[in-house]
Amino acid sequence: MFCYQCQETAKNTGCTIKGVCGKNEEVAKLQDLLIYAVKGISEIVVKTKTDAAEINAINHEVLTSLFITITNANFDADAIEKQIVKVLGLRDQLAKDTAYNGNRDAAVFTVDSRESMLSKASQVGVLATENEDIRSLRELIIYGIKGMAAYAEHAYNIGKEEISIYSMMYEGLAATLDDSLTADDLVALTLKTGEYGVKAMALLDEANTSRYGNPEITSVNIGVRKNPAILISGHDLTDMEQLLEQTKGTGVDVYTHGEMLPAHYYPAFKKYDNFVGNYGNSWWMQVGEFESFHGPILFTTNCIVPPKTPEVAERIFTTGAAGFPGCPHIPADENGKKDFSAIIEMAKKLPSPDEIETGSIVGGFAHNQVLALADKVVDAVKSGAIKKFFVMAGCDGRMKSRDYYTEFAKQLPKDTIILTAGCAKYRYNKLELGDIGGIPRVLDAGQCNDSYSLAVIALKLKEVFGLDDVNKLPIAYNIAWYEQKAVIVLLALLSLGVKNIHLGPTLPGFLSPNVAKVLVDTFGIAGIGTVEDDIELFMNA
Ligand code: SF4
């Protein structure tokens, strides 16, 4: 196996024996083959000039397939094999329907057993591209598209689609098979991927806010009650909605974990009196936190750490693109409806959660809420009460070096505000950082996709201050990344013209030295240094 798609990749060069995430060789190879099959579909779509609007079923399976391969989403070899078979069936039908007469391997290869899949996968993985710069750019595009697919799938679950996003995915994935493309062609395509990342995040924002209302300032309880309870993790708000509807009046409470915390900010979910609060911290802290929760856990997306004990494994359920061997997977029917009764029944028989924290945290500062406070914010900037904003969106992870972000937040001057989104916030959202004239010093917009909100806020401030360049605002970007959704957020910010983004705790292992140089020279991308040096650098920029 070879995988270097996330920030925790072994030695920052690649996982080769087993993933640091827990992914084994078989799963890694099946994921590689699934991606290759999706590339085959993309090749057919592009070559035959098929209109993505005409292939709905394929579009949706492509989204799910890409999502399955995101870090920590799916560890279930059987489920991935099933998806490969499904995608190859769709690919072959598409080739027939469109009279595809090409011979690109990804579009025509066949496999008939797990063994043949694994053998094929060994020839078509990341290292099949020999030139390290081309490989780096191809993977950068693929990882961006994986992130885009995740956002598009959440939007689709709410009933919103944008055909041009599918078309771009096909174009990008097909390009990764084309040896005639130069590094410059692929750099251009990388930026185009970022542009469509903005579209996907805007689409999801519209889907979430039109269905559940605009996030509003909310104080979220981090303590517990003495009822049986279910913990819901991941990002999918339709799962959140269905779980709340089905637990209503059952005596079973619902808590969020990790990236599901921002569900509390949506008006539509406030009406459920069994929606109690957030339990614990970011995804990797589930080891320990799931033990003391006691009740069942529902994974809606990519936040799975392989459970350390059978006792925890027996309480895990997955749905959507998520999967773990031996854990029940709750499917959707043709209308997207899911039956969570097995989880609710399990919860009723288990003890209530142990209290691990008390108090509350405040969030809900997505674009609508922040723009409602725009006058106050602008006055504070004009009066000098706010000197600088720090966008510290992104992901959290296990590495000790991420303590940097806690220290950075602690040591920032008191006249600065942190704008955050994603699970990176858990590094500092429980610190007492105070407020500036009533504006909290940590403004949490929501999930990683709500980084879109931070871009909307920046563009609005640019307008209000009459600036011609978003980089002239008093905003610095110090972003933490972990998986592929952070890659699309980064590409989206680059496509909006944002420069001098600092990325940590390490630069991606999949960037070859030459590709990294292009990002440094063109966009001023940089890594992180020491907290003291970085704060000085940012404050004087
Ligand atoms: Fe390694 Fe990350 Fe790939 Fe897992 S997802 S195998 S940790 S690079």
pLDDT tens for each residue of 270-305: 999 999 999 999 999 999 999 999 999 999 999 999
Cβ burial, residue 17 (10 Å; 0-12/13-18/19+): exposed
Kindly tell me if the per-residue pLDDT of 437 is higher than 90.
Answer: yes
Altogether, the residues listed in the chain come to a count of 541
Query: Average pLDDT in the 497-519 region?
Result: 97
Spatial distance between the Cα atoms of 198 and 452, rounded to a whole number of angstroms:
7
Q: Which residue has the tokens 């191809």?
A: 138
User: Ligand 1: which atom is nearest the Cα of residue 72?
Assistant: 5
Tell me how far the alpha carbon of residue 268 lies from the centroid of ligand 1, in angstroms: 36
Q: Which of 1, 2, 3 to mutate to test the pocket of ligand 1 (most atoms within 8 A of CB)?
A: 3
User: Ligand 1: which atom is nearest the Cα of residue 509?
Assistant: 8
Which residues are within 8 A (CB) of 439 and not within 5 positions of it... i.e. 6 or more apart?
Answer: 373, 376, 377, 380, 386, 417
Mean pLDDT of the chain, nearest integer: 97
Q: Which of 12, 35, 71 to mutate to test the pocket of ligand 1 (most atoms within 8 A of CB)?
A: 71
Q: Which of 23, 25, 395 to mutate to test the pocket of ligand 1 (most atoms within 8 A of CB)?
A: 23
Query: Average pLDDT in the 312-334 region?
Result: 98
Spatial distance between the Cα atoms of 525 and 476, rounded to a whole number of angstroms:
12
Q: Whose CA is nearest to atom 5 of ligand 1?
A: 71
How would DSSP label each residue in 259-274? GGGGGGGSGGGTT-TT
Kindly report the three-state secondary structure assignment for every residue of 454-496: HHHHHHHHHHHCCCCCHHHCCEEEEEECCCHHHHHHHHHHHHC
Give the strand pairing for 439-440 and 435-436. antiparallel
Kindly tell me if the per-residue pLDDT of 171 is higher than 90.
Answer: yes
- Residue 468 carries which side chain, given as an amino acid letter? D
Spatial distance between the Cα atoms of 321 and 148, rounded to a whole number of angstroms:
14
Supply the pLDDT for residue 264. 98
- φ and ψ of 219, to 5 deg: -95, 120
Kindly tell me if the per-residue pLDDT of 472 is higher than 90.
Answer: yes
Q: Which of 7, 9, 26 to mutate to test the pocket of ligand 1 (most atoms within 8 A of CB)?
A: 9
Domain ranges of the chain: 10-211, 218-349, 364-540
Element (H, E) at 95: helix 77-97
Q: Indicate the class that CATH gives domain 218-349.
A: alpha beta
Query: Average pLDDT in the 176-198 region?
Result: 97
Give the ranges where 261-366 is alpha helix by DSSP (H). 286-293, 310-313, 341-349
Tell me how far the alpha carbon of residue 24 lies from the centroid of ligand 1, in angstroms: 10
Give the strand pairing for 316-319 and 329-330. parallel
Cβ burial, residue 427 (10 Å; 0-12/13-18/19+): buried
User: Ligand 1: which atom is nearest the Cα of residue 71?
Assistant: 5
- φ and ψ of 119, to 5 deg: -70, -40
Give Cα separations from 310 to 290, 315, 327 (angstroms): 12, 9, 11
Expressed in angstroms, the distance from the first to the final Cα of the chain is 43
Question: Residue 230 forms beta bridges with which residues?
Answer: 254
The pair of three-digit structure tokens given for residue 154, joined into one six-digit string: 């959440």
Tell me how far the alpha carbon of residue 440 lies from the centroid of ligand 1, in angstroms: 36
Tell me how far the alpha carbon of residue 123 lies from the centroid of ligand 1, in angstroms: 19
Tell me how far the alpha carbon of residue 126 lies from the centroid of ligand 1, in angstroms: 12
User: Ligand 1: which atom is nearest the Cα of residue 7?
Assistant: 2
Note if the bond before 306 is cis, omega within 30 degrees: no
Supply the pLDDT for residue 412. 98
Q: What 8-state DSSP symbol labels residue 353?
A: P
Q: What 8-state DSSP symbol labels residue 283?
A: G
Q: Which residues of 222-231 are buried (b: 16+ CB within 10 A; e: fewer)?
A: bebeebbbbb
Q: What is the tens place of the pLDDT at every residue in 106-115?
A: 999 999 999 9
Kindly tell me if the per-residue pLDDT of 381 is higher than 90.
Answer: yes
pLDDT band with cut points at 50, 70 and 90 for residue 531: very high
User: Ligand 1: which atom is nearest the Cα of residue 10?
Assistant: 1
Query: Average pLDDT in the 179-198 region?
Result: 97
Supply the pLDDT for residue 117. 98
Supply the pLDDT for residue 516. 97
Q: Name the nearest CA neighbour of 391 among 357, 356, 416, 364.
A: 416
Tell me how far the alpha carbon of residue 99 lies from the centroid of ligand 1, in angstroms: 38
Spatial distance between the Cα atoms of 214 and 527, rounded to a whole number of angstroms:
34
Supply the pLDDT for residue 520. 95
Tell me how far the alpha carbon of residue 118 lies from the centroid of ligand 1, in angstroms: 18
Element (H, E) at 141: helix 132-157
Q: Indicate the class that CATH gives domain 364-540.
A: alpha beta
Supply the pLDDT for residue 394. 96
User: Ligand 1: which atom is nearest the Cα of residue 1?
Assistant: 6
Side by side, which strands form the sheet with 475-480?
442-444, 416-420, 388-391, 475-480, 502-504
Spatial distance between the Cα atoms of 440 and 419, rounded to a whole number of angstroms:
10
Residue 411's CB is within 10 A of a number of other CB atoms, namely: 11
Kindly tell me if the per-residue pLDDT of 410 is higher than 90.
Answer: yes
Instruction: Answer positive or negative: Cα dihedral of 296, 298, 219, 419.
Output: positive
Kindly tell me if the per-residue pLDDT of 222 is higher than 90.
Answer: yes
Spatial distance between the Cα atoms of 236 and 230, rounded to a whole number of angstroms:
16
Which residues are within 8 A (CB) of 122 and not within 5 positions of it... i.e. 6 or more apart?
Answer: 29
User: Ligand 1: which atom is nearest the Cα of residue 3?
Assistant: 3
User: Ligand 1: residues within 6 Å at CB?
Assistant: 3-6, 8-9, 15, 19-21, 23, 28, 71
Kindly tell me if the per-residue pLDDT of 503 is higher than 90.
Answer: yes
Q: Which residue has the tokens 């174009």?
A: 171
Q: Indicate the class that CATH gives domain 10-211.
A: mainly alpha
Tell me how far the alpha carbon of residue 4 lies from the centroid of ligand 1, in angstroms: 6
Supply the pLDDT for residue 483. 97
Tell me how far the alpha carbon of residue 335 lies from the centroid of ligand 1, in angstroms: 33
Spatial distance between the Cα atoms of 141 and 147, rounded to a whole number of angstroms:
10
Supply the pLDDT for residue 541. 83
Q: Are 69 and 83 within 8 A, CB to CB?
A: no
Q: Which residues of 328-341 are buried (b: 16+ CB within 10 A; e: fewer)?
A: eebeeeeeeebebe
Spatial distance between the Cα atoms of 370 and 216, rounded to a whole number of angstroms:
9
Question: 218-349: same fold as 10-211?
Answer: no
User: Ligand 1: which atom is nearest the Cα of residue 14?
Assistant: 8
What radius of gyration, in Å, describes the C-alpha atoms of the chain?
Answer: 22
Angle at the Cα of 213 from the Cα atoms of 207 and 216, rounded to 5 degrees: 125
- Reduce the DSSP state of residue 14 to 3 states and report it: coil
Q: Crossing angle, helix 163-175 and helix 56-68, to 10 degrees?
A: 60
